[in-house]
Structure 1
């Protein structure tokens, strides 16, 4: 069957098979359009899911960062913030400030920070080290910070990121550490006892005026030398024995070592030494030794010993002498008795009777 169609150009005849082809083409076209739309929808959904995941991941990473981080848009509204940032700026709830203006959350911000924000929004990266931040209550914090812009896909600035590190506690600890170091250094340097500090290679790293005066050498000529050069009078064998003891016990207790002064005088020093270990890995860092000059004490002890020996000898002599005198007196009394005379030494007679 033929279906006539009138057009301005003339008469055309459309067959049933022709209609079927047209309908099939339209069906295929519509199917392709539907498939493309579904694929586009799935792609859009995948992209949206991926974007949501990326945003959630970024939020997670920033929130749990060990550093104080805040991400703002171009209007300085909060987009992301780390817990550390909230702790350092005393913000109770980080989620509550999302979307709020930075100057609303932290009012009375110094003018220099506002200038930094504007510079950063124009593409600059601005940093500060050991920067002083004075709070409203007059307390002072020291910070290290960096402010840099972040960019959208089209290359335009989307806002700024502020990294902040609070240094106040570190500075306080450093100040206390320096104060303790200066105190210990003064204590070491001004001590009346000779002090030596050597590392694990037995190289002297610290000493004091006492041993400097004892040896007649300036401190800089002692530091850097092997401890064996100070204890040279021990001899090679004794030095090896001392080193072996330090290797195994890492300490000395009441060890007498002779030191030779620049004038050639031999001084006897009683040494006690203890190890200093690394608190992290337990390795030996240094050994600190303190000495006591017992030269005079030993001399006095020697004098006392000699005097005691002398007294002992005299006592023995006198004891024997006294016994001999008694014997002689007894002999005289005996002779007098034989002659019928009275004993001359009555005390001797009394002692013999008892």
Structure 2
């Protein structure tokens, strides 16, 4: 039981910021107080400016809704807009460091944004284009916030899904966790129609809808959602085991290596080895490894080494076709350069 009133109010506010309706009895049980105390605390929050809406019914319910202004002593309008724009920009891509907690924060913030501020956020996002957008596909922030709210509120989620082969289906799930691999977002959920656990690429999800039906979370077959996703990816045909040796210290490589690729292990003071299970295209992976800026040797798979060889040959041909530029010399069009070389006599 929380006897400290300010601490209890903060705990109550944190619960209400989850996008769902909370029955009075459930709030009383969570806080370890009576329903009468919950009603008094709700009144205190309203006096502080938090727009808590009550619904009628046998048990009664409470929900934090968007008001005419942001609740006091939290964020001013400019801060709220700046944070929402930043979270939306990051949530649209599975960027390293932008994980489920950030998506939950976006869901909470957008739930209480007044309509005028929500319009400003959408206008700003539509008018700006980031220079770097990550390697993964773009995802609508609204898709992530709906999913995050159903995960937090233990609410069944319905959506349309497009499989890798283009097959369309409708799914009804009990969402468990959102997991970011650094390039993509995945939803780990229990598929009710298939009576089994599944992982879904969020960029293939459309029309997500929170049904309002509550559920008691099931126990995952593995210890964590991240571990379940990892094993699921290993079972897929498009995944493969990556084994690469870098001619650089492990600490140096780790500083430039995306977190979703894992951590390299030292071989000696000047080299390290990376082993990981990935599901990305071989050519893209060859490019990603080359961009790290270190010499490396691909131990396996052989197909990745072949893709790296083909890419290297292509880059070598591109470099050979480019005439060296002197300082201040204008770059020539390749076709014009080739024509001039064919018509001019060779220099002695």
User: TM-score category by the smaller chain?
Assistant: under 0.3
Greater relative contact order (Cα 8 A, min sep 6): structure 1 or 2? 2
| TM-score computed with the length of structure 1 as normaliser | 0.17
More helix by share: 1
